[in-house]
Chain A
Amino acid sequence: MPGLFRKARAKSATGGSLFKPPMQTLIIEPGRAERNYWRDLVHYRELFFILAWRDVAVRYKQTVAGVAWALIQPLMSMVIMTFIFEKLAGLHSEGNAPYPVMVFAAILPWQFFSNALSLASQSVVTNANLISKIYFPRLIVPASSVMVSLVDFLVACSILAGLMVWYHFWPTWRLIILPALVLLAIAAAVGPGLITTALTVKYRDFRILIPFVVQFGMYLCPIAYSSSLMREKLGEKWFLLYSVNPMVGVIDGFRWAILGTSASFDWHGFIISVVLTGVLLYIGIRYFRKIERVFADII
C-alpha cells in the first residue's frame, strides 16, 4: 500500500495525472484560516449550491399553497397598499404609471431585502449543528439564505409582468438595466445581513429586533409613496440624508427601470445610496469574518 501511495504522489507532482489530485497539505495554526479564506470559499462552492438548494427545497415543504406563497405575499401587500394609500389616503402615482405598478416595483426589492435580512440573520443560529460539527467558510450560510429570497423574488417578478400587461403599461429600454439593479439589491441585503447575522450569534436580542426593524423600514422606504413626494416634503438637503438608506437607491433604481420616463430619479440620492451600500457591504464582510472564527465557540 505505501508503495502505491508514493507512486500516486510522484505522478501528480510531475503533473502527470489529471485525475489524481496531489495530496494536499493542510496547515492549521492561529490565524491561518483567515489568510486562505477566499480560496476556501471557491473550494466550497458546491456546498454553497447544495445548501441554497436545500433551503429553497425546504421553504415550502408541507404547505398547501407551496411556492404560491411567494406570489400571494407581495400581491396581498400591493392590494392592501393600493386600497389604503391610493383609495383612502389619496396618494397618487408618478407620471402616468398606474399606482399598483408603481407600488409593486418597490415591493419587489423591498420584500427581497426584508426576507434576505430576516433569513440571513437567523441562518447561522438555525444551522448551529452544522457550524459546530463541520468546517466550511461560514459566509456560505447567510449567502445561501439570500439565494432563497432571490428565488422568491424571481417568482414574484411574474406578478409584475402580469400587472403591466393588465394595465397596458409597457416598459422602455431601461428594463435592460434591471439585472444590474438586482445585483445592487443583493449587495444592499448582504451587507446589513452579514452584520445582523454575526450579531445574532453573539446576542440573541437581534432575533427579536430584526422583524421589528423590518416592519419599521417598510414605512421609511419609498414604497407606498414615491421618493419625489418625499423630496418635496423634505427639501433637497434633508432628502440626501433620507437617501443614506441603501434601499432608497435600490427602490428608486427599480422604478426608474420599470416605470420608464414616468419615474422621477435623483442622481445625488442614488449615488449616496450606492456608496452606503458599498460601505455596509465592506463592514459586513469584515465584521462577519472577524466574528465567524469564534462562531463554534460561542454559538
Chain B
Amino acid sequence: MSETLIKVEKLSKKYVIRHQGAAEGLRHALQEVAKTPFRWFKQSLGAGSVNGHDHRLNGGQAAKLNPQKSSEDFWALKEVSFEVKQGEVVGIIGRNGAGKSTLLKILSRITEPTVGRIQITGRVASLLEVGTGFHPELTGRENIFLNGAILGMSRAEIRRKFDAIVAFAEVDRFLDTPVKRYSSGMYVRLAFAVAAHLEPEILIVDEVLAVGDAEFQKKCLGKMQEVSKGGRTVLFVSHNVGAIKQLCDRCILFRSGTVQQDGPCDEVISNYLTDATLCENGVIDLRHHPARSRASKPLISEIVIRNGQDQPTAQLFPEEALLFDITIASFETIRNPRVALAIEDSHGRRLMTMASYFDQSPLPNLSGKTTIRCESSPLQLGPGRYLLSVSIGTKEHGLIDSIDGASWFEILWNNNYRNGEPYQSVYGPFLKSSKWEVVYD
C-alpha cells in the first residue's frame, strides 16, 4: 500500500451568521468600543484569542447579553474525517451547501478550521478557479509568470515550462497582447494551461471544468486524466457527475457538512443521484426532507406537480404546460415573498430557474397556510430525469427556506414524435417545438 498523503481528522468549521436588522458594521463596532474601551483594546491585541474555543465563549456571552439573538452558529463542516493515499484520485460530490467548498478552502489554507486537524504530506496546489490573479492590463506572457507565481511555481520552473504552456493554450500569436483584449476562450485556455503545468504531489481542483467550450473541456479532462495517471494525488470537486465518473475511482459524498458516504465512485454517485426520490404521484412531501439546507426554517411543506390536465403526476411530456402547487405554512407573515423553482438534469447541471420575482406582478404577503401556484409554459426538455429544487426568501432577509434537490420528475419520450424513433443525447437537453415546411420551390 502506498502511504497516506492527506489525513483529515474530525474537521469542523463554524461560521457565525448575522441576522439582518441586527446591529453590525462600523457604527455598532464604535458603540462597542465606546462602551468598553479597555476590553476592546485587549481583545484587539490579544494573541490567539480567536481560536475555536474562545470563539464559542464569546458567542455565548453575546447571546447572554442580548436576548434577541442577533447571530447564530452555523457549522459548515462537522467532524469530517477521511484519508487519501498517494496516487488516489478522489471525487468529492454533494449538493450546494454540503460543505465541499468549505473543505477545499480549509485544505488550501484560505481559511482556518475551528476544530480538528489536517496533515498533508507533499506540495499542494489548489485550483479553486482558473486564472486567479490574472491581471487584464498585463500581457499574456506577463500573466503566465504572475499566475505561475501565485500558484506556487518558482520563476525558474515557469521559464522551463513556458513553451509548453504557450503551446497548450494556443495563444502564441497574442503573447504580447494585454489579456483584456483576449476572447474569453483564449483567456480560459491560457489560465488553464498555466495551472495544468503545475507539478505538485497533490492537486486540489474545484469545478474548473465548468468553463470553456466543449472541445476545451475535453482537453482539460484529458490533461487531468494524464495528471492522475502520473501517480499524482488529486482531489476533484465537481457537480459534473460525468467528469467525476471519468476521472475518479473513489468518491466522497458530503451532505449537511458531514461525510455521508465514502467508497467506490459508482456506488456513491448512484447514491447521490437517488438522494432525492422520484415521487410517483407528483405529490412531494417536504416537511422532513433530507435535502433541506440547514440554515432553513421549514416553511415549504409540499409541492404538487400537475400536468396539462390538472392531474398530479411526476411523468410529463415535453410539450405539456404544467403547474406547480407550492404549499407554505408560516406562523409569521412573510413580507414580499420570493419563491423560486429550479430544474437540474441528471448530471447536476442547472438548466433553468423560474422565480416569482422574474414576473412583473409580485406575490402578496403570506401568512398561515397558503398554496402558491406556478404556471409554467411547456418545459420543452428532452426525455430523462430532472431534479426539482424549491426555495422561498424575501428581498430583505435573503433565503429563508430552500430544498436543493427536492424530487426527481420524468420527461417521457412521446412516441408521437419522430415516429417512435429513440431520443439521442446528442440532440441536447432541450426539445424545441418547430414547424417545418417548404416555402420556396
Contact = CB atoms under 8 A, between A and B. Distances in A.
A23 B86 CA distance: 13
B87 interface: yes
- Interface footprint category on A: 35 or more
Given A46-B149, A205-B26, A28 B122 contact: no
A281 to B, nearest CB: 14
B44 A134 contact: no
Contact of B146 (A1, A50, A132, A286): A50
B114 A30 contact: yes
Contacts of A127: 133
Interface string B12-29: 000100000000011001
A77 interface: no
Interface in B102-119: 105-119
Given A1-B87, A23-B201, A54-B135, A296 B120 contact: no
B2 interface: yes
B146 A33 contact: no
Contacts of A30: 51-52, 112-116
A29 B117 contact: yes
Given A2-B86, A135-B108, A130 B25 contact: no
Given A23-B201, A130-B132, A287-B44, A46 B113 contact: no
A23 B122 contact: yes
Contacts of A32: 112
Contacts of B48: 31, 34
B364 to A, nearest CB: 35
Interface string A186-201: 0000000000000000
A31 B132 contact: no
Interface stretch (B89-97, B123-131, B186-194, B331-339): B123-131
Given A23-B121, A28-B120, A47-B150, A129 B15 contact: no
B133 A134 contact: yes
A205 B26 CA distance: 8
Contact of A203 (B26, B111, B120, B149): B26
A27 B112 contact: no
Contact of A135 (B47, B110, B122, B201): B110
Contact of B110 (A34, A133, A287): A133
Contact of B112 (A23, A28, A132): A28
Contacts of B394: none
B438 interface: no
Interface string A267-299: 000000000000000010011001001101100
A4 to B, nearest CB: 9
A26 interface: yes
Given A130-B150, A203-B26, A290 B110 contact: no
A31 B112 CA distance: 8
A50 B149 contact: yes
B50 interface: yes
A61 interface: yes
Given A29-B118, A133-B132, A296 B110 contact: yes
A215 interface: no
B212 to A, nearest CB: 18
A33 B113 contact: no
Contacts of A1: 87, 231
B129 A133 contact: yes
A161 to B, nearest CB: 31
A134 B145 CA distance: 16
Interface string A38-72: 00000000110010001001100110000000000
Nearest to B109: A135
A62 B150 contact: no
A50 B145 contact: yes
A25 interface: yes
B150 A25 contact: no
Contacts, number: 131
B93 to A, nearest CB: 21
Most buried by B among A29, A61, A286: A29
Nearest to A58: B137
B120 A25 contact: yes
B119 A54 contact: no
A24 B109 contact: no
A203 B137 contact: no
Contacts of B87: 1-2
Contact of A290 (B44, B86, B111, B151): B44
Contacts of B52: 30
Interface in A1-22: 1-2, 5
Given A31-B48, A31-B51, A24 B123 contact: yes
A293 B50 contact: yes
A151 to B, nearest CB: 16
Nearest to B113: A30
B133 A129 contact: yes
A268 to B, nearest CB: 27
A55 to B, nearest CB: 9
Most buried by A among B109, B115, B121, B146: B109
Nearest to B53: A30
Nearest to A53: B146
Contacts of A283: 45
A24 B201 CA distance: 11
B45 A287 contact: yes
A24 B122 CA distance: 5
B233 to A, nearest CB: 11
B142 interface: yes
B432 interface: no
A297 B150 contact: no
Nearest to B12: A30
Given A28-B107, A28-B112, A30-B52, 15 more contacts: A2-B3, A25-B119, A27-B119, A28-B118, A29-B113, A34-B48, A46-B155, A58-B137, A58-B138, A129-B132, A202-B26, A203-B26, A283-B45, A290-B50, A297-B111
In the complex, the 3 A-B pairs of residues with the closest C-beta atoms, listed nearest first: A135-B109, A203-B26, A1-B231
15 contacts: A2-B231, A5-B231, A25-B120, A28-B117, A28-B120, A31-B51, A46-B155, A54-B138, A61-B138, A61-B178, A62-B137, A132-B110, A133-B128, A202-B26, A290-B45
Interface of B: 2-3, 15, 25-26, 29, 44-45, 47-48, 50-52, 86-87, 105-124, 126, 128-129, 132-133, 135, 137-138, 142, 145-146, 149-151, 154-155, 178, 201, 231
